[in-house]
């Protein structure tokens, strides 16, 4: 198994999107990239901890490649809006790829360059690519939030 971590706005919809990808074995929503140890949702929502809302994806590389996960990431949010996705505004909603290995870093940077040159977006991609840090699992009521409510997405 391998781990990938992505931030692409509110983590509820991002988790549901990745959870449905064949080869993804588990997902968890949480916080990464900030300065506060063991932040709560309320802490992160102050926009003062520096954390992004993220989904941590456990996947089987024999069934789904990291490149395929990157494609899911790029095609399910707007990577050109700084610190926002739709109506959600704040650094916790930033577009970010947290890489766990040098190979993931290389693949993420190459895919970002390819997406930026593809012409899909009118504005430049602002997605951060940064080393993975401590992952703080979000409160249980956030885990599989949409699935628990029988909702497929919260996309705008």
| Cα end-to-end distance, the chain, whole Å | 32
CA atoms within 13 A on the CB side of 87: 3
Tell me the pLDDT tens digit for each residue of 95-135. Answer: 999 999 999 999 999 999 999 999 888 999 999 999 999 99
Which of 119, 121, 133 has the alpha carbon at shortest distance from 7? 133
Write out the two tokens for 92: 């916790």
Q: Please report where in the chains the tokens 């080869």 appear, as a residue.
A: 23
Give bridge partners of residue 113 from the DSSP assignment: none
The rounded distance, in Å, linking the Cα atoms of 105 and 156 is: 29
Q: What pLDDT, on a 0 to 100 scale, did the predictor assign at position 111?
A: 97
pLDDT digits (tens, 9 = 90+) for 43-68: 999 999 999 999 999 999 999 999 99
Which residues are annotated as catalytic? 10
Q: What is the pLDDT of residue 145?
A: 67
Cα separation of 54 and 38, whole Å?
14
Residues sharing a CB contact under 8 Å with residue 11, sequence separation 6 or more, in sequence order: 29, 30, 53, 54, 55, 138, 142
- The domain segmentation of the chain, as residue ranges, is 2-148
Q: Is 100 exposed, middle or buried (0-12, 13-18, 19+ CB in 10 A)?
A: middle
Q: Please name which of 47, 41, 32, 57 lies closest in space to residue 136, comparing C-alpha atoms.
A: 32
For residue 3, what are the β-bridge partners? 58
Could you tell me how many residues make up the chain? 156
| Residue whose tokens read 């992004």 | 52
d(CA 126, CA 103): 21
Say if pTM beats, i.e. exceeds, 0.85.
Answer: yes
Topology of the domain covering 2-148: 3.30.1060
């Amino acid at each position: 198994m391998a781990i990938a971590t992505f931030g692409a706005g509110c983590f509820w919809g991002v988790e549901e999107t990745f959870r449905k990808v064949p080869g993804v074995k588990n997902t968890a929503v949480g916080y990464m990239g900030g300065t506060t140890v063991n932040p709560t949702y309320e802490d992160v929502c102050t926009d003062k901890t520096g954390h992004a809302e993220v989904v941590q994806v456990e996947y089987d590389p024999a069934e789904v490649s990291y490149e395929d996960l990157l494609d899911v990431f790029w095609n399910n949010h707007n990577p050109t809006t700084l610190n926002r996705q739709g109506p959600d505004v704040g650094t916790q909603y930033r577009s970010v790829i947290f890489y766990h290995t040098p190979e993931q870093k290389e693949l993420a940077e190459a895919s970002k360059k390819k997406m930026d040159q593809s012409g899909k977006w009118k504005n430049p991609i602002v997605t951060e690519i940064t080393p993975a840090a401590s992952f703080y699992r979000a409160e249980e009521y956030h885990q599989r939030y949409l699935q628990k409510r029988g909702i497929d997405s919260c996309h705008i």
